Each structure stands twice: as structure tokens, then as C-alpha cells.
Amino acid sequence: MASNIPISPEYYFRIIGLHANENGHDRQVDGDWRPPRGKGKTKYKEWPSGWREYALFHHQDGTTIRLLNTPDNTPESLHLEPHGTCSMYFDQGNIWVVDCDATRHTIYDGDDNDNDASDLSQSGLTEDRTNDWSHVHFTHVDINVDPGQKMSYVAYDGREKKLIYQHRDQVWAKKLFPDRYSRMGDREVERGAQLGGLVGELPILLGLVALSVDPRGQERTVGWDDKRGVLVEVWTRRSQQHIDTLKQYERGDLVKIFK
């Protein structure tokens, strides 16, 4: 029996530029910049080409359209269900993420002077704290649509700091990730094109795409802009079928999001 589940499910999203409002005081850990934790230290950035309008986008069946910026085209008016939120920064080859709107929350303990808690266990946080900024991480997942193959799942927390499986024909890997997250040169690259591909947390995936594209709408060919940030918010329709299908899509149960 043919499945009626779409390969590319319906969802809505919004991407807003962010910048660190540090007033000359950068948060430094071991000599490297980190995104600020203090509430109010991350602000919306008015990017060119319409991003400052905070437009809502609709994705369905592989097609993405930008909705008109009217009172009828808001998540509240459309009765949408929040699916996930991600704040993300790039700096010096590092991608930093936290699973909330950093403009509205105190991140971790709000202290921009103490040591870094990222990449460590963040269990035991009090209820009113968010997680700390951390590198993107990866776990591996079996492809349900093609058992025996493997791909990477990008997440806020995971056991691996690099793409787990990768082959040389995957151009997207070079465009989405700086070198520190790449497997190029490792033995995983040589295992063949049947391995590899990427799925994962949809807000992170959309944020990676946003950071790889020039804010004026031009696809960049080399590098990223240091201290550039984005906020990604994702919604789905308020039905259990829509919610479950989007989770299946993220897990790779339907298709590889990036092949």
C-alpha cells in the first residue's frame, strides 16, 4: 500500500538576524570569543533584503514561499504549534547554538565572565535556566527508508563533534560546515557514497543554511561572517499527524534531508 505521508512535510519558519550587543566587552574563553549569556546582550539585527521584516515562510512538498507580511499571516493568526527554536552564531570556524530565543532569555547562568559550560554535561540545570551555548553535535541514525545505510543527525547535544559519515561528493557538507566539523581525510570518507547524508533538528538545519547564504541573498562560496547570528523559529499545524510527520522527517524516517 502506498504511503500518504509526504516526503517533504509541511512546516512554517522564520529567520531573524542576530548580533551580540557587548558594548566593547567580548565574552572570551581560553582566548576565543563566545556568544554572550546575559539577557539583552543578543539583539535582533536588521539584515538587508527584507530580513528586518521578520517574514514568515511556508514550506510544503519541497517548495518554500514567503508569506505576505499581513496580520493574517502570523503564527498566532494561523493557529500554528511551536515546533522548535534555535539561536546560532558563527565565529572563527565555530558554530554556537542554544535551543531558545537568546534575545528573550538569560543563557545558562547569565555570567559573561566565568568559564565555559558548553560541550559539558548540562544536566541538573534549574528550571528557570536555559542550556549554555555549545558547538553543534552529531549522532548517527539508521536510515529507515533504506536500512543498512547510515547518516549524521545534527543536534544540540551528542557524542560526536564531527559529521559521522561523509563522502567526497557531498558538496553541502563544505557549504554548511566549517572544516572543524568535517570528516574529510578520515577513513569514514572512503566507505563509499552509500554512507552519509544529514538529518536532524530542523531549526539547526535551517540556521546552517541561513549562515551559509549572504544576507543580501547571494550564495557565498568561501567562508562565513564572524559573529554573525541568526534566530530560527519553526512551527507546524496543530494536529498530531503534522507534528508526528515533522518529527519523522527530522529523524530520517522519510528521506535524507541532505544527501
DSSP 71-109: TTSSTTTTTEEEEEEEEEEEETTEEEEESS-TTTS--TT
pLDDT in tens, 30-72: 888 999 999 889 999 865 554 455 789 999 988 999 999 889 9
Distance between CA atoms of residues 89 and 40, nearest Å: 16
Distance between CA atoms of residues 102 and 211, nearest Å: 17
Q: Which of 149, 114, 152, 154 lies closest to 132, judged by CA?
A: 114
Global pTM reads 0.87
Distance between CA atoms of residues 181 and 175, nearest Å: 11
Q: Is the pLDDT of residue 220 over 90?
A: no
pLDDT score at 1: 32
Which sequence spans correspond to the domains of the chain?
11-117+201-251
- Strand 134-135 versus strand 32-34 pairing type: unpaired
pLDDT score at 3: 42
The DSSP secondary structure of 200-214, one letter per residue, reads E-HHHHHHHHHHTB-
3-state secondary structure of 248: helix
pLDDT in tens, 204-215: 999 999 998 876
